[in-house]
Amino acid sequence: MSTFCSYAGALGAEHNAVIYATAVGGRDGFQESRVVRRGVDRQVRASTVLYADRLTGVVGVVRDAVLARLEQARRVLEIPEFDVGTVEFQLTSHNDGEFFGPHTDAASPDTATRMLTFVYYVHREPKGYTGGELVFHGPDGKEELFNPENDTLVLFDPRISHEVRPISCPSGTFEDGRFTLNGWVHRRTASRSSSAFFDQKIFTPVRQWSRRGAGVGAAPPSRPRMEDAQHLRDLLLLYGDLHRTGSSPRTVDVRPALDADTFFDEYYARNRPVMIPGGIADCEAVRDWSPEFLAQRYSDVRIEITSGRDAMPDYERRYRETIEVVTLAELARRLAAAGKTNDFYVVARNNVLDRSELRALRDALTPPPGIVDNTDRRAGATKLWIGPQGTVTPMHFDEHSILFAQVHGRKHFKLAPSFDHPRMYAHHTWYSAVDPESVDLHQYPLFADVSLMDVVLGPGDCLFLPVGWWHWAKSLSVSISATFSSFDRPWRNTALGRRQHQPT
């Protein structure tokens, strides 16, 4: 099976020039690119985008070119037949150092109806940049690479893992960058539940606004009024006050041998954490894994670690600046010699378990049956953490639920309820300004009323971290951990700010 289809000279010089002029002329309208479940995150995706509401003059010719080749590409790529629904567009700019890390295009409820990805390449002649290759990661672990060529259209299955390698643009000027008019062909569905962002910026211009007869550039729905925001804040504070009247407001439930129905009814659906002692105690990974084991089995495998964290207070946000590549043998040596430190860590963002040469590690992890879908091998569904005693993940919340599993060593968690958000002194979107190990109540007085909960995990223990719940973690010893985010229900997961996906 082919990984992608490419068509040189897809639109011709005249249309290509119009799209390039649209990109350069629309410079002031470009916005930071987003990742569907995370929003703006330049550690994952660094680029800027001009959305469909600014592209009405150029999308028609690209849509026609894509649809004219759809059937041929569908057969070559072995994509199932589907009725064409919405065609989603965006004009993307990559400039010096920008990239998009490994990902798929159809892994969330908002993107599940994407059936075909298209990328049309545009740049000035002669080309003002190098790099920016489109790299496909096949299920067999092999990489296939496409070098950007002007006036070329590429079609591929949105479910395949791919990335955009960093580009080098010596001039740094916007005009010399890598532009693509890219998007997705969706299958038609009876109804669609999408986030406000998708409705306002992507689907509204091509679907809802035209249905209402609004002109190009019509304003999106207004933001919530200030009194609405204050009402929501008051509700969260009320929920926190009510929670603290309970008999054990600072305790996480401990449920050995928790069955799946009880888990989903009492914890997942109610947005409550739970510790499952021995939840993965019988799996091969808990029995065998240690840094020495990994080094013996995979000594020459090179992985990314974050390094130099002690010298960088905001190391979580500046993740890309801390990356170092080492072999697993070198990592094991560092762990043995390190003692207590937060200076280096293998964190989830490198997607170690998605790599073909480490597939046996993923297979050795057996999550609780009925709770996690152990057959899901999509990119990012299972992630790995390895670090010395003393590594710290600052207080933050995630936009989807996670089942955290401790494989080797011990880890200490501090949790705070999602409804304590007004007391958490949030900054940089997902993080708290408060260090829960050393709280300055003069600077952060509201934190005194946070229902902080402590949990310590040992080998084989699991902890359910509900979407929106704040959590902090510290390794009490050399530690190996895994996280699962594909739950054994049709919707897989529920993301913050989006309705739970129901199968169509």
Q: Output the CA angle 374-379-383, nearest 5 degrees.
A: 70
- pLDDT the model gives residue 409: 96
pLDDT tens digits along 265-293: 999 998 999 999 999 999 999 999 999 99
All structural domains of the chain with their residue ranges: 4-212, 231-484
Kindly list the distances between the CA atom of residue 213 and the CA atoms of 51, 210, 218, in Å, as whole numbers in the listed order.
Answer: 19, 5, 10
**Residue position matching structure tokens 């993923």:** 362
> Looking at the predicted structure, is the pLDDT value of residue 481 above 90?
yes
Residue whose C-alpha is closest to residue 402's, from 377, 382, 376:
382
pLDDT tens digits along 46-79: 999 998 877 877 888 999 999 999 999 999 999 9
Q: Tell me if residue 301 falls in helix, strand or coil.
A: coil
> Looking at the predicted structure, is the pLDDT value of residue 208 above 70?
no
- pLDDT the model gives residue 191: 46
Give the whole-angstrom CA distance, residue 321 versus residue 336: 25
What is the per-residue DSSP string for 101-131? EEE-SS-SGGGTTEEEEEEEEE--SS---EE
pLDDT tens digits along 333-364: 999 998 899 888 888 676 788 888 998 999 99
Cis ω for the linkage preceding 126 (within 30 of 0): yes
Average pLDDT, the chain: 85
Strand partners, 32: 48
- pLDDT the model gives residue 36: 59
Q: Which CATH architecture has domain 231-484?
A: Sandwich (2.60)
- Which of 95-104, 213-222, 240-249 is modeled with the greatest confidence? 95-104
Give the whole-angstrom CA distance, residue 438 versus residue 426: 17
Given CA atoms 240, 241, 242, 247 in this order, what sign does their dihedral have? Answer: positive
> Looking at the predicted structure, is the pLDDT value of residue 110 above 90?
no
- pLDDT the model gives residue 228: 60
pLDDT tens digits along 15-32: 999 999 999 999 988 988
Whole-number percent of the chain with pLDDT over 70:
85
Residue 32 corresponds to which amino acid?
A: E
Across the range 476-488, mean pLDDT stands at: 95
Asked whether the domain spanning 231-484 has the same topology as the one spanning 4-212, the reply is yes
Confidence band for 317, pLDDT divided at 50, 70 and 90: low
Confidence band for 245, pLDDT divided at 50, 70 and 90: confident
Give the whole-angstrom CA distance, residue 92 versus residue 116: 17
- pLDDT the model gives residue 263: 95
- pLDDT the model gives residue 283: 94
pLDDT tens digits along 114-126: 999 999 999 999 9
> Looking at the predicted structure, is the pLDDT value of residue 203 above 60?
no
- pLDDT the model gives residue 328: 93
> Looking at the predicted structure, is the pLDDT value of residue 230 above 80?
no
Let me know: does 203 contact 86? Beta carbons within 8 Å. Answer: yes
Kindly list the distances between the CA atom of residue 282 and the CA atoms of 276, 289, 365, 408, 463, in Å, as whole numbers in the listed order.
Answer: 13, 13, 10, 13, 16
Confidence band for 499, pLDDT divided at 50, 70 and 90: very low
> Looking at the predicted structure, is the pLDDT value of residue 504 above 60?
no
- pLDDT the model gives residue 234: 72
> Looking at the predicted structure, is the pLDDT value of residue 212 above 60?
no
Give the whole-angstrom CA distance, residue 453 versus residue 273: 10
pLDDT tens digits along 444-478: 999 998 999 999 999 999 999 999 999 999 999 99
Cα 105 from chain centre: 11
300 HSE (CA, 13 A, CB side): 0
- Which has more confidence, 371 or 188? 371
- pLDDT the model gives residue 492: 86
- pLDDT the model gives residue 40: 60
> Looking at the predicted structure, is the pLDDT value of residue 193 above 60?
no
Give the whole-angstrom CA distance, residue 228 versus residue 494: 24
Across the range 424-435, mean pLDDT stands at: 86
Give the whole-angstrom CA distance, residue 112 versus residue 490: 12
> Looking at the predicted structure, is the pLDDT value of residue 94 above 90?
yes
> Looking at the predicted structure, is the pLDDT value of residue 498 above 60?
no
**Looking at the domain that runs over 4-212, which CATH code has it been given?**
2.60.120.620
**Residue position matching structure tokens 């790099």:** 131
> Looking at the predicted structure, is the pLDDT value of residue 252 above 80?
yes
Let me know: does 488 contact 498? Beta carbons within 8 Å. Answer: no
Q: Provide the Cα torsion 282, 287, 290, 293; round to 10°.
A: -130
- Which has more confidence, 215 or 165? 165
- Beta strand 253-254 with 274-276: parallel, antiparallel or unpaired? parallel
